[in-house]
Amino acid sequence: MSKPYSRLDRDNAVVLMVDHQAGLLSLVRDFNPDQFKNNVLALADLAAYFKLPTILTTSFEQGPNGPLIPELKEKFPNAPYIARPGQINAWDNEDFVKAVKATGRKQLLIAGVVTEVCVAFPALSALAEDFEVFVVTDASGTFNEAVRHAAWDRMSAAGAQLMTWFGVACELHRDWRRDIEGLGTLFSNHIPDYRNLMTSYNTLKAAKAVP
């Protein structure tokens, strides 16, 4: 059964970055490494741009999963950072769930590694507690496309909405009149071809400014 359109709201959304750890990133094969890292950092940048509460979590850092990638620590130095001692499902960690609920927000933007475990398990758990879940598909990675689609199907069937970071940004922004340069710069930093649009826009704007 299809669900009615539920629009992302910048005042009701929180970003959950789950297990973007150095060791786990080496397992991602459904995106090329540079593309995937770019997508993860694009999600981080849009979270900062829209001032969305952001929660970072890792699993078993002292093991092969490794540490959180440093760019996320640098981007969110004051964000809740939950280093789970062993729980595979982040939702099984009491501190993580408390951090999510403390935001008072009901729309969860979830991304992580690997998709069918670190993303799917907390997504399904949150859905069971009546949160709205939006999976940022291109900032979540796994072993191959077959595994990825199995995870997407499972989450989608349970009610999760599948989006990309670009779609998330546009739905949160809603209207270009809010801010052209800021969002345009974010897009240009992560989509090289988007720079052409901004160059064209800036050229036309400069021409119009000439008396």
Instruction: Specify the DSSP element, H or E, that contains 7.
Output: none
Catalytic residue among 16, 40, 46, 118: 118
CA–CA dist 128, 181 (Å, integer)? 39
The DSSP 8-state label assigned to residue 176 in this structure reads: G
**Peptide bond connecting 210 to the previous residue in cis, omega within 30 degrees of 0:** no
Specify which residues 201 forms β-bridges with: none
Question: Which 3 state secondary structure label does DSSP give 29?
Answer: coil
**118 carries an active-site annotation:** yes
For 19, list phi and psi in degrees, rounded to 5: 65, 40
CA atoms within 13 A on the CB side of 172: 25
Smallest Cα–Cα separation from 41: which of 140, 139, 167? 139
Question: In angstroms, rounded to a whole number, what is the distance separating the alpha carbons of residues 54 and 151?
Answer: 23
Under 8 Å between Cβ of 172 and 199: no
Residues marked active site are found at 118
